[in-house]
């Protein structure tokens, strides 16, 4: 019996497309971002090259902190402020197509589109390339979006390497059973991969239906640049790497501290075989302690004494010792490394990691945050291109589902993100305006317009109101006509 093939690939080969080194990197990065780091830490500690030998037997406990999420959420995010402005323009038109714009926004309002795009934004920032799969919910009569990435999907491109001709992605995962879906230009094909008792996997077709759209309904989004070759950008594993380093530092530091908390017992005597362990106990009402037998598994500690045999020992001794470990310098080194990595991602990490650094003024903070604003502007341009591709896909899906033109397929979508408000020092900012006004480089009208958002007419009226109010408490007051108005 000839094995089933789709576009020249067997079912097993299709499934294997989703399993490669880059896919593992993406899954690992997302695990760190989502906080699923315990299993990753246990695997790291068990690594023969980077781990800690016999770490479980030695009492080492995996510790971790989500540096990955901390950096990504502060690194040029696009949807953390107000919703962007979305408009549809017909080709050659300088005015938006209001009907198409309203139709698109009405379809978006049926879904949790802001929450979805916020997750898409974070995923794209971390793994550098992500896709939006556009589907239609026939029950709710609404769009349904899904995030795909290299960790759960694979694509086949046309010869120009620009258009997706086929897609496979994982739809579910359970014990020894995984399901996948293949989308080609012609059909949807659902697969089931099962594993028998001896670990041999088998892939079969569960269902196949015609593709009503004639396209693979996905749109790709890139973080800050398109890949030089191929379809996927490399994921940001440097961030995962520094998170691993920090987790190891936390784990090692706690283990080092435990030596000081539980020092080792040293003696040149032999333990008494008859009654190796005695526990010091004070009964209620007695002033002096007495001794009572204790389990031999206990080896010293608070409120306990050890009975030893010093026969034949010239100078018997017993003491608890622990290595002198100064953790603070090591902690400072790791913290500085994390700050440097944060700078690579346009994030100021000094306070986020518990460091000592902080901005001394609003202007210093602005200078430190400028790279993040520039990154956000760059990412906004890339997202705008991705959204143009997404609009074409959405238009095809909606027009097909409704059987009429909901969105003009030849039009283009434009997304405009607002500027991020940077934190400033209000006192120093006020002093700067006072100096500019006294020096004749600005006016009260300028201040009211720029800082309070007033129009020129509103600013003039407000200045007159202030002047009249202040005239009750001072004898000399310049009139509004005498106020410098600037340029």
> What's the pLDDT at 313?
83
> What's the pLDDT at 347?
83
Cα dist from 230 to 29, 157, 158, 362, whole Å? 21, 9, 11, 44
Handedness of CA 448, 453, 456, 460 (dihedral sign): negative
Mean pLDDT to the nearest integer, 103-119: 94
Contact 272, 309 (CB under 8 A): yes
Contact 341, 349 (CB under 8 A): yes
Contact 196, 202 (CB under 8 A): yes
> What's the pLDDT at 1?
52
Asked if residue 266 has pLDDT above 80, the reply is no
Instruction: Output the six-digit token pair for 64.
Output: 């971790």
**What CA–CA distance (Å, rounded) separates 414 from 374?**
20
Instruction: Please spell the DSSP secondary structure of 324-353, one letter per residue.
Output: ---HHHHHHHHHHHHHHHHHHTT---TTTT
Confidence class of residue 399 from pLDDT cuts 50, 70 and 90?
A: very high
Contact 100, 411 (CB under 8 A): yes
> What's the pLDDT at 211?
97
Contact 85, 139 (CB under 8 A): no
Mean pLDDT to the nearest integer, 397-415: 95
List, for residues 318-343, the tens digit of each pLDDT value. Answer: 777 777 778 888 888 888 888 888 88
**What CA–CA distance (Å, rounded) separates 209 from 439?**
75
Asked if residue 315 has pLDDT above 50, the reply is yes
- H or E segment and range at residue 133: strand 129-137
> What's the pLDDT at 298?
46
**What CA–CA distance (Å, rounded) separates 333 from 328?**
9
> What's the pLDDT at 469?
84
Mean pLDDT to the nearest integer, 411-440: 80
Angle in degrees, CA 401, 136, 173, rounded to 5 = 145
Distance of CA 116 to the CA centre of its chain: 14
Asked if residue 296 has pLDDT above 50, the reply is no
> What's the pLDDT at 357?
43
List, for residues 224-254, the tens digit of each pLDDT value. Answer: 999 988 899 998 789 999 999 999 999 998 8
> What's the pLDDT at 273?
57
> What's the pLDDT at 468?
84
Cα dist from 271 to 292, 315, 398, whole Å? 17, 16, 83
* Highest-confidence segment of 195-204, 278-287, 346-355: 195-204
> What's the pLDDT at 423?
54
Instruction: Output the six-digit token pair for 341.
Output: 């990595």
Closest of 154, 224, 156 to residue 375, by C-alpha? 224
Asked if residue 282 has pLDDT above 60, the reply is no
**What CA–CA distance (Å, rounded) separates 46 from 57?**
12
> What's the pLDDT at 130?
97
List, for residues 170-215, the tens digit of each pLDDT value. Answer: 999 888 899 999 999 999 999 999 988 777 889 999 999 999 999 9
**Residues above pLDDT 70, as percent of the chain:** 83
Per-chain mean pLDDT for the chain: 83
Asked if residue 364 has pLDDT above 80, the reply is no
Mean pLDDT to the nearest integer, 423-435: 75
- In 3-state terms, what secondary structure has residue 437? helix
**What CA–CA distance (Å, rounded) separates 154 from 150?**
6
Residues 6+ apart with CB under 8 A from 162: none
> What's the pLDDT at 284?
55
Instruction: Output the six-digit token pair for 409.
Output: 């397929």
Instruction: Output the six-digit token pair for 364.
Output: 């210093």
Asked if residue 150 has pLDDT above 50, the reply is yes
Q: How many CB atoms lie within 10 A of CB 324?
A: 7
Secondary structure of 209-221 as H, E, C letters: EECCCCCCCEEEE
The answer to whether the pTM exceeds 0.85 is: no
């Amino acid at each position: 019996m000839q094995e089933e093939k789709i576009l020249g690939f067997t079912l097993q080969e299709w499934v294997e497309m989703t399993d490669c080194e880059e896919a593992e990197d993406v899954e690992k990065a997302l695990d760190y971002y989502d906080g699923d780091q315990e299993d990753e830490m246990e695997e790291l500690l068990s690594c023969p090259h980077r781990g800690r030998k016999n770490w479980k037997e030695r009492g080492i406990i995996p510790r971790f902190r989500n540096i990955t999420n901390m950096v990504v959420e502060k690194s040029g995010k696009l949807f953390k402020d107000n919703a962007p402005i979305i408009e549809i323009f017909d080709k050659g038109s300088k005015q938006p197509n209001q009907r198409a714009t309203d139709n698109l926004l009405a379809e978006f309002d049926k879904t949790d589109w802001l929450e979805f795009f916020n997750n898409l934004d974070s995923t794209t920032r971390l793994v550098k390339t992500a896709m939006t799969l556009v589907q239609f919910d026939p029950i709710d009569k609404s769009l349904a979006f899904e995030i795909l990435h290299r960790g759960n999907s694979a694509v086949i491109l046309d010869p120009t390497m620009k258009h997706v001709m086929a897609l496979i992605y994982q739809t579910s995962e359970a014990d020894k059973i995984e399901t996948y879906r293949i989308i080609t230009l012609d059909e949807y094909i659902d697969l089931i991969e099962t594993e028998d008792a001896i670990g041999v996997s088998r892939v079969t077709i569960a269902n196949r239906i015609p593709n009503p759209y004639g396209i693979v309904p996905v749109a790709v989004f890139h973080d800050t640049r398109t890949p030089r070759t191929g379809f996927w950008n490399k994921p940001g594993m440097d961030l995962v790497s520094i998170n691993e380093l920090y987790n190891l530092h936390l784990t090692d530091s706690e283990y080092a501290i435990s030596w000081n908390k539980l020092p080792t017992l040293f003696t040149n005597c032999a333990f008494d075989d008859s009654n190796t362990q005695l526990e010091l106990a004070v009964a209620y009402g007695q002033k002096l302690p007495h001794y009572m037998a204790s389990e031999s598994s206990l080896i010293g500690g608070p409120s306990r004494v050890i009975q030893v045999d010093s026969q034949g020992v010239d100078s018997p001794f017993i003491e608890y010792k622990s290595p002198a470990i100064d953790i603070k310098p090591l902690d400072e080194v790791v913290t500085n490394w994390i700050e440097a990595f944060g700078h690579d991602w346009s994030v100021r990490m000094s306070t986020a990691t518990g460091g000592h650094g902080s901005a001394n003024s609003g202007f210093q903070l602005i200078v430190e945050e400028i790279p993040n604003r520039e990154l956000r502007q760059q990412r906004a341009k890339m997202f705008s291109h991705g959204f143009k591709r997404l609009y074409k896909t959405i238009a095809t899906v909606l027009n097909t589902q409704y059987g009429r033109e909901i969105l003009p397929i030849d039009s283009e979508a434009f997304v405009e993100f607002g500027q991020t408000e940077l934190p400033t020092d209000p006192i120093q900012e006020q002093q700067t305006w006072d100096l500019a006004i006294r020096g004749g480089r600005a006016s009260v009208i300028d201040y009211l317009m720029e800082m309070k958002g007033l129009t020129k007419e509103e600013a003039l009226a407000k200045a007159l109101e202030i002047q009249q109010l202040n005239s009750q408490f001072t004898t000399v007051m310049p009139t509004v006509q005498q106020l410098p108005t600037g340029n």
